Structure 1
Amino acid sequence: MTSPQNPPYGTPDTPLLTVRGEAELEVDPEIARIGVTVTARGKDRRTTLDDLTHRNATVLELLKSYGDAVENLSTGAVSLTPELGQRGRGERVRTYHGTVHLTAELTDFTALGELTTRLADLDLTGVDGPSWALRTDSPAYRQARQQAVQDAVQRAKEYAQALGTTVAALIELADTGTGASGLRPQAAYGGRMTRSAVMAKGEPAPDPLDLEPQRMQIRAEVSAQFTMNPPTL
């Protein structure tokens, strides 16, 4: 039951004031994600699988060589699919397609451009990204929520002041949304390359891509209900 001292609606003696508090911050990202697709193709199933395994191992070795700069590394879908010929009788396999999808999360953005370039330089290896993100426990979220609450309190005081009175008490505070947004990746770096997984002797390493972090927009919103001291109208 609702206490008589705290009715769910306003009265002439305790007018109810409902406001919304908002905050929007622009912060630097904390994580860069890249997707890596390793591909193999051949007429023999075992040879295709061996090629896929070798290229996947090469990519993993390169990613792990960056140590703590790569915070998380995971393997997604793996597939080895036969492609049937369109002519002749019976089910005859023309070629096999193999793919492995990996996702890497980096926290050291100084290594991001070099790593992305080296991955894209590998044979039959595609790179997508980067996409930028914040950690789930990023202090930026807390800062945005606090500013949203402060905005709600300030709005309530301003409305009460416009009526020639003051805010008396907080009745309810509700979090109506906190989130981050940023631009989605606009390009894929790499793709299907024809270079060898091991650079030819004496061939210089490719110049690293210059990747600028995409700043994140953090938005928080709250709804608050206050009682006011009765104004004189």
Structure 2
Amino acid sequence: MPTELTVRGSHTAFQRPERGTVHVTLSLQGPKPQPVYDRVVADLEAVTASVKQLHDPERGPVTWWSTKHVRTWAERPWNQDGKQLPLVHHAAVGVEVKFRDFAALGRWVSQHVAVTPGFTLDGVVWALTAANRQDLERAVRTRAVQDAARRAQEYADALGLGTVRPVAVADAGMLGNGLHAAGGSGPAPYLRMAAAKEGGGSTELELAPEDIEVSAQVDARFVAE
């Protein structure tokens, strides 16, 4: 009677990112709504003008960008003595800019941190291009299957059995038999969000791209005589 072996194979690869998407918020506040709104709109026009000078979908350094709608709201804050203060008016707008040239990304951010009031860098999402992401994903899945086959054969060899033969392969957790689905709470594959670090009062920002980690797990069932 053949012996059944169920194993989980895995593989992880790392690759340098190819794109960095800057997430920026332009926001100001003040006692009157119109001046706050007008200043944020003016800052937005200045920021988008600088982006348009760099934008080229094929060659970069900016390959894509977008802006949100300007939001306005007001609040009446409280001081430490429990007294309600006059209204404070706010205006804010989000901007996203995708760079393929990371040196240009750093220069652009540093420029606006220095001269644009209310410019806040929320973070940078490092990513791969769609084509290379698919290639890397395919390679990692292949290596995960190969790892499962190696594990199964090692078990068979330890039991003095012959060559194993695959009978089922599935994403992790789909074969049952007490194996739990793979999961995690980390960033999505192919994307990493990294906040900029500002040091020593300088406008030079540390924007070091992090390697993209791509992992795959598969469950496989083999039989050996």
Calculate the TM-score normalised by the size of structure 2: 0.74
2:23 and 2:96 in contact (8 A); partners too = yes
CA distance in 1, matches of 2:193, 2:6: 36
2:177 matched residue in structure 1: none
- 1:144 aligns with 140
* 1:185-204 correspondence runs (5 A): 185-187=194-196
Listed one character per residue, the Cα deviations across residues 145-193 of structure 1 (whole Å, up to 9, x for unaligned) are: 1110111111122222222332343211112259637875254559xxx
CA gap of 1:61–1:117, structure 2 versus 1, over 3 A, is: same
Aligned equivalents of 2:128, 2:142: Cα separation in 1:
18
Work out which of the two has the higher radius of gyration on C-alpha atoms and give 1 or 2: 1
Report the alpha carbon displacement of residue 85 of structure 1 after superposing the two structures with TM.
7.8
Superposed CA deviations along residues 178-226 of structure 1, whole A, max 9, x for unmatched, are 9637875254559xxxxxxxxxxxxxxx975453221122211110001
Contact 1:42 1:96 in 2 (8 A): yes
Tell me the number of residue pairs that the alignment of Structure 1 and Structure 2 aligns.
Answer: 199
Could you tell me which runs of 5 or more consecutive residues in structure 2 were left unpaired when the two chains were aligned. Answer: 79-84, 173-181
State percent identity of aligned pairs.
28
1:74 maps to which of 41, 45, 66: 66
Matches within 5 A, 1:15-26: 15-26=3-14
1:102 and 2:98 aligned:
no
Give the Cα separation in 1 of the matches to 2:77 and 2:212: 49
TM-score by length of 1: 0.72
Q: Tell me which amino acid in the other structure corresponds to 2:120.
A: G
Distance 1:189 1:55, change over 3 A: farther
**TM-fit CA distance, 1:141:** 1.6
Of residues 45, 53, 72 in structure 2, which corresponds to 1:57?
45
* C-alpha distance in 2 between matches for 1:135 and 1:93: 49
- In the alignment, does 2:124 pair up with 1:134? no
| Closer/same/farther in 2, CA of residues 82 and 210 from structure 1, 3 Å limit | closer
Contact kept, 8 Å, 1:128 with 1:189, in 2: the verdict is no
**Which structure has more helix as a fraction of its residues?**
2
Contact 2:125/2:193 (8 A) holds in 1: yes
For residue 102 of structure 2, give the secondary structure of its aligned residue in structure 1: coil
After TM superposition, what 4+ stretches of structure 1 lie above 6 angstroms from structure 2? none
2:109 is matched with: 116
Amino acid at match of 1:54: A
Q: Distance in 2 between matches of 1:212 and 1:187?
A: 8
Output the amino acid matched with 2:163.
Answer: V
CA distance in 1, matches of 2:203, 2:156: 61
What is the 5 A alignment of 1:21-32?
21-32=9-20
Distance 1:98 1:182, change over 3 A: closer
